[in-house]
Chain A
Amino acid sequence: MSLEPHELEELKLKIGRDPTSTELQIVAAEWSEHCSYKSSKKHLKILPMDGPLVINEKGYDSGVLDVGDGYVVTAHIESHNHPSAVEPYGGAATGVGGVIRDILSAGTRPIALLDGLRFGDIEKDQHAKWLFKNAVKGVADYGNCLGIPTIGGEVEFDECYANYAMVDVAAIGFGKKENLIKNHAKKGDLVVLMGGATGRDGIGGSQFASDSLESENRSAVQIPDPFIEKLIIEAILEARNEKLIHAMKDLGGGGLSCAVSETADALDIGIEMDVDNVHTRESDMHSDEIMVSESQERMLIITDSVKLVKFQDICNKFRIECSVIGHVTFDSKMHVKKDGKTIANISTDIVANATLLDLPSKKPKYLENIEEKKSFPVLSDYSEIMLKLLASPNIASKIWVYGQYDHEVGIRTVVKPGYDASVLRLDNGKFLSIKIDGNPKQCYINPREGAIGCFEEACRNVVCTGAKPIGMLDHLQFGNPKDPEIFWTFLESLKGLTDFAKDFEIPCIGGKVSLYNETPKGSIKPTPVIGVIGLIDKKPLRIQKINSGDCLIMIGNTKDELGGSEYSEYIHKFIGGKCPAVDFSESKKNMNAVLELVENELIKSAHDCSKGGLAVAVSELCMTNLVGCTVPLDDVPGDNLASDEILFSESHSRYLVTFEKKNIQNLEELLKKHNVSFKTIGEFGGESIQFTTDSKPVIDLSVDKAQKTWLNSLKEMVMHA
């Protein structure tokens, strides 16, 4: 856990002398991939970050959106993959804690969480099951204790994550614009560390996360304490209300080293601090350990001596420790002392800005023929395959997961988990819709189209609630960037996301890059996870129960895109085929059409077609409403497709809308006006899910049986060996 030889030479050159041991530790933490983004930063600049609603302030760890009437929404996404792979409970829990403090740093109250979890094949792999079970418990115990609802997310299993865990957490905050912390500091201001004591946990965590996972380095995993975090949230918000905070930053990767150097660099100040003043969990901690410990539940606050008294009163009220560890100087240096002696004194600019890399990239060999089409045997009856898909871990209901998360606390959750996207009510009468989506199977086959697909799917999900996408969070998770083929997939995904964001004018308001996600068997599949935040000005689609006699319209074309589908991979164990690609103009037309349908209150529900294709999407409607439906495949919009392609292709930009029959004319007129491809493909009724060709059923499944299988499958997989 140290600098590479050439980095050490560079550091010596920059400071003109040999670094002290503390300086070495500080710089090694801050120059790690995790803290410095040295491999990715150059390229990330292509993403559009500005927009009419985006508020930019220096030193924010989260994105800020103006949602009108004097209110703002903040959002951020983080992962805790390496720690969760070693200790899933603590790793996942501290992942929740970290991203919440990013929201808090802007001066907003965290109001919602979403989690994206990925593990190996839980049907075969006991270790993957153990990781899954405990990561869910970690997220649940932390979020529930804080009283922040976990309102959505996704869970996926793929062999590429064997012996590994992907734990992504997105957090949403809300507050008054006037209460945003406007990070600033003047000479003589005090630097305060508040929260949990600094201990020996998480030592070297950021370097640990910047390397392939080779050993189980448990001391690099942080220990969660949600109770302290809850007290910190309330104390900080009280201090914010009383305007006691000049600047604030949470302690995450790199601990004090990172928080102090980045704050100083962002605000153009220097900070002089004394490690003896840091409250520690153990008495004999070495100063280097204090500087790089990643103990959780700590915040760095800058205030002045008058406000400090009130701030300490608030900390006393909540019985949280706080220590004045230093003060602001104007020499742009990070000056660390112990026993009155200097142990580090180095320009913050040098610490906070590692030399950025321009790594080589090369199109991976495996991609050459991967999209070649493969046809699967044509069957006369797909009912059994359908049932197998509904029971498969990626498609089965995730109620076992979100049923363990308090998703109601805060009493904002208007649309609960289990639908396309959850919806929160805001204090100004507007609504927020949020979804995160990833699709490593498609991203592996085509990193560019796959990443765009994740972005569009998240958009589709919020559009289904009636929300217009206003911001995006990107979480780019890849393997070792020094492998040019892996780096190429990173760049392709990034370019795809950029093109979509620009074309749809959805700014990227925050994100994270996580590299070196390697398992003993090699790199993970490219795993970008995209969060989309949508705003509803008037009212969200209030999902109504579908009854017998209601109708189903499909908007959007189905294409021969079985590549990366659950059907190809789960049923036929085949990785390859044509990856679904988003047609930007079709995508935009369809989104606008669905938004207008919701606004005009013409529909009962809108549901996107994604994992498992049309067959699964229709089944989900039937199973959640306990009503049957018959869909003739010949009516589904699309050209020259085989039955299995119509049923299971995961083509994008497709929506299923349900409505009362009497609205059919208004609906069709509106859709014609938008010039979208659509067709009324079914009517609800009866007790079975049916798909037919030439009036003969190719799938005929009892709703009751399908629903029981779909609801219980995941739970049974977890509970029974």
Chain B
Amino acid sequence: MNVGVVVFPGSNCDRDMFHVLSDVFHMTPQYCWHDKPLPENLDAVVLPGGFSYGDRLRAGVIAAHSPIIQDVKKIAEKGIPILGVCNGFQILVESGLLPGVLLKNDSLNFMCEWTNLTVENNKTPFTNKFELNEKIPIPIANGDGRYFVDDETLKQLERKNQIVFKYDQVVNGSSNQIAGVCNEDGNVVGMMPHPERAAEPEINPHDNKPSSLIFESLLQKIGANN
């Protein structure tokens, strides 16, 4: 199970994601540097969090124009599972792979805290092992994490089942408390909270099993594909 972990200058959750994919879930991750072509044998791609290009101009916008994103777009069309976490989500949004924008939190501050998500769509490659409305204790850590879409788009997202995760209460002022969305095909998922920070019991003060299901869902999906 080959998973590409895309690394941009300024990515800083790449090593955490790599550790969880390899040491906890026994997949075979490989780092993919932003200016090299994406390897061809990948079963899935993860865009980890961080501050690509120091969040200059706007979070994720410079990375969204790197060569590797062209490759990510190509494999996205083929239906290969792609997950963007935090800055990875911002990059997916900026590159047009996912709808909406991520704005400054309504507190105007960086926020690092544990939140609870509810699963709104359990058909994606990263949520297929969840029950609908299942709760996930998981931390956020971002300054620009307020997901925003206009009312029209929001209706569309709801109709097409593109809302994947919601916060169970108001956290940062995001539209409809959205924490994660997917594309129309459901194979590209972006989320602000960090599943890689919640999947091991040692570092999760609540319950690590729900976050683990995000990775186990991927294992199930890739297993079914192969």
A residues contacting B by CB (< 8 A) are 140-141, 144-147, 225-227, 230-231, 317-319, 402-414, 416, 425
16 pairs from A and B in contact (CB 8 Å cutoff): A144-B141, A147-B51, A226-B51, A227-B51, A227-B53, A230-B9, A230-B51, A231-B9, A231-B10, A318-B9, A404-B109, A404-B110, A408-B141, A408-B203, A409-B141, A425-B203
B112 / chain A contacts, CB cutoff of 8 Å:
402-408
The interface centre, meaning the residue of B9, B12, B112, B143 with most chain A CB atoms within 10 A of its CB, is B112
Contact A413 B54 (CB under 8 A): no
CB of B106, distance to nearest CB on chain A (Å) = 13
Contact A227 B54 (CB under 8 A): yes
Q: Which B residue's beta carbon lies closest to that of A317?
A: B33
Q: Is B209 an interface residue (CB 8 A)?
A: no
Closest 6 pairs between A and B when the two form their complex, measured CB to CB? A147-B12, A227-B54, A145-B51, A406-B141, A411-B16, A408-B197
Q: Which B residue's beta carbon lies closest to that of A539?
A: B202
A145 / chain B contacts, CB cutoff of 8 Å:
10, 12, 51, 54-55
Q: How long is the Cα–Cα vector from A402 to B110 in the complex, in angstroms? A: 10
- Which residues 102-139 of B have a CB within 8 angstroms of A? 109-113, 139
Q: How long is the Cα–Cα vector from A141 to B55 in the complex, in angstroms? A: 11
- Which residues 62-102 of B have a CB within 8 angstroms of A? none
Q: Which B residue's beta carbon lies closest to that of A416?
A: B205
CB of B33, distance to nearest CB on chain A (Å) = 8
Choice from B51, B111, B143, B203 contacting A411 with Cβ under 8 Å: B203
Q: Is B146 an interface residue (CB 8 A)?
A: no
Q: How long is the Cα–Cα vector from A408 to B195 in the complex, in angstroms? A: 12
The interface centre, meaning the residue of B10, B15, B196 with most chain A CB atoms within 10 A of its CB, is B10
Q: Is B19 an interface residue (CB 8 A)?
A: yes
A409 / chain B contacts, CB cutoff of 8 Å:
12-13, 16, 49, 141, 197
Contact B202 A230 (CB under 8 A): no
Q: How long is the Cα–Cα vector from A59 to B111 in the complex, in angstroms? A: 38
Q: Is B200 an interface residue (CB 8 A)?
A: yes
B20 / chain A contacts, CB cutoff of 8 Å:
411
A413 / chain B contacts, CB cutoff of 8 Å:
203
Given contacts A144-B110, A225-B54, A230-B10, 16 further A-B contacts (CB under 8 A): A144-B143, A147-B13, A227-B9, A227-B51, A227-B56, A318-B9, A402-B112, A404-B111, A405-B110, A409-B141, A411-B196, A411-B197, A411-B200, A412-B203, A414-B202, A414-B203
Q: Is B50 an interface residue (CB 8 A)?
A: yes
Q: How long is the Cα–Cα vector from A402 to B113 in the complex, in angstroms? A: 9
CB of A628, distance to nearest CB on chain B (Å) = 23
Q: Is B194 an interface residue (CB 8 A)?
A: yes
CB of B202, distance to nearest CB on chain A (Å) = 6
Q: Which B residue's beta carbon lies closest to that of A413?
A: B203
A412 / chain B contacts, CB cutoff of 8 Å:
203
A404 / chain B contacts, CB cutoff of 8 Å:
109-112
B196 / chain A contacts, CB cutoff of 8 Å:
411
CB of B14, distance to nearest CB on chain A (Å) = 9
Q: Which A residue's beta carbon lies closest to that of B9?
A: A231
A408 / chain B contacts, CB cutoff of 8 Å:
112, 139, 141, 194, 197, 203
Contacts A145-B55, A408-B139, A410-B16; A140 near B203 (Cβ below 8 A): no
Contact B51 A144 (CB under 8 A): yes
The interface centre, meaning the residue of A227, A408, A412, A413 with most chain B CB atoms within 10 A of its CB, is A408
A402 / chain B contacts, CB cutoff of 8 Å:
112
The interface centre, meaning the residue of B49, B109, B196 with most chain A CB atoms within 10 A of its CB, is B109
Contact with A along B2-27 (1 / 0, CB 8 A): 00000001101101100110000000
Q: How long is the Cα–Cα vector from A453 to B65 in the complex, in angstroms? A: 55
Q: How long is the Cα–Cα vector from A230 to B14 in the complex, in angstroms? A: 13
A403 / chain B contacts, CB cutoff of 8 Å:
109, 111-113
B50 / chain A contacts, CB cutoff of 8 Å:
147
A317 / chain B contacts, CB cutoff of 8 Å:
33
Contact A146 B202 (CB under 8 A): no
CB of B88, distance to nearest CB on chain A (Å) = 13
A144 / chain B contacts, CB cutoff of 8 Å:
51, 110, 141, 143
CB of A90, distance to nearest CB on chain B (Å) = 15
Q: How long is the Cα–Cα vector from A409 to B50 in the complex, in angstroms? A: 9
A147 / chain B contacts, CB cutoff of 8 Å:
12-13, 50-51
Q: How long is the Cα–Cα vector from A572 to B50 in the complex, in angstroms? A: 47
The interface centre, meaning the residue of A230, A317, A404, A411 with most chain B CB atoms within 10 A of its CB, is A411
Contact B54 A226 (CB under 8 A): yes
Q: Which A residue's beta carbon lies closest to that of B52?
A: A227
Contact B9 A146 (CB under 8 A): no
B203 / chain A contacts, CB cutoff of 8 Å:
408, 411-414, 425
A405 / chain B contacts, CB cutoff of 8 Å:
110, 112
Q: How long is the Cα–Cα vector from A319 to B112 in the complex, in angstroms? A: 30
Q: How long is the Cα–Cα vector from A145 to B55 in the complex, in angstroms? A: 8
B111 / chain A contacts, CB cutoff of 8 Å:
403-404
Contact A146 B12 (CB under 8 A): yes
Q: How long is the Cα–Cα vector from A446 to B197 in the complex, in angstroms? A: 44
A414 / chain B contacts, CB cutoff of 8 Å:
202-203
CB of A103, distance to nearest CB on chain B (Å) = 16
Choice from B9, B110, B141 contacting A319 with Cβ under 8 Å: B9
Q: Which B residue's beta carbon lies closest to that of A319?
A: B9
Contacts A144-B141, A147-B12, A147-B13; A411 near B19 (Cβ below 8 A): yes
The interface centre, meaning the residue of B15, B194, B202 with most chain A CB atoms within 10 A of its CB, is B202
The interface centre, meaning the residue of B9, B16, B19, B139 with most chain A CB atoms within 10 A of its CB, is B9
B51 / chain A contacts, CB cutoff of 8 Å:
144-145, 147, 226-227, 230
Q: How long is the Cα–Cα vector from A412 to B13 in the complex, in angstroms? A: 12
B110 / chain A contacts, CB cutoff of 8 Å:
140-141, 144, 404-406
Q: Which A residue's beta carbon lies closest to that of B112?
A: A406
Q: How long is the Cα–Cα vector from A411 to B202 in the complex, in angstroms? A: 10
CB of B172, distance to nearest CB on chain A (Å) = 12
CB of A644, distance to nearest CB on chain B (Å) = 36
CB of A277, distance to nearest CB on chain B (Å) = 25
A227 / chain B contacts, CB cutoff of 8 Å:
9-10, 51, 53-54, 56
Q: How long is the Cα–Cα vector from A227 to B11 in the complex, in angstroms? A: 10
Q: Which A residue's beta carbon lies closest to that of B199?
A: A411
Q: How long is the Cα–Cα vector from A146 to B13 in the complex, in angstroms? A: 10
Q: How long is the Cα–Cα vector from A275 to B109 in the complex, in angstroms? A: 42
Q: How long is the Cα–Cα vector from A362 to B164 in the complex, in angstroms? A: 69
CB of A224, distance to nearest CB on chain B (Å) = 11
Q: Which B residue's beta carbon lies closest to that of A399?
A: B113
The interface centre, meaning the residue of B49, B56, B203 with most chain A CB atoms within 10 A of its CB, is B203
Q: How long is the Cα–Cα vector from A103 to B58 in the complex, in angstroms? A: 30
CB of B26, distance to nearest CB on chain A (Å) = 17
- Which residues 35-66 of B have a CB within 8 angstroms of A? 49-51, 53-56
Q: How long is the Cα–Cα vector from A553 to B12 in the complex, in angstroms? A: 43
Q: How long is the Cα–Cα vector from A144 to B194 in the complex, in angstroms? A: 14
CB of B8, distance to nearest CB on chain A (Å) = 11
B139 / chain A contacts, CB cutoff of 8 Å:
408
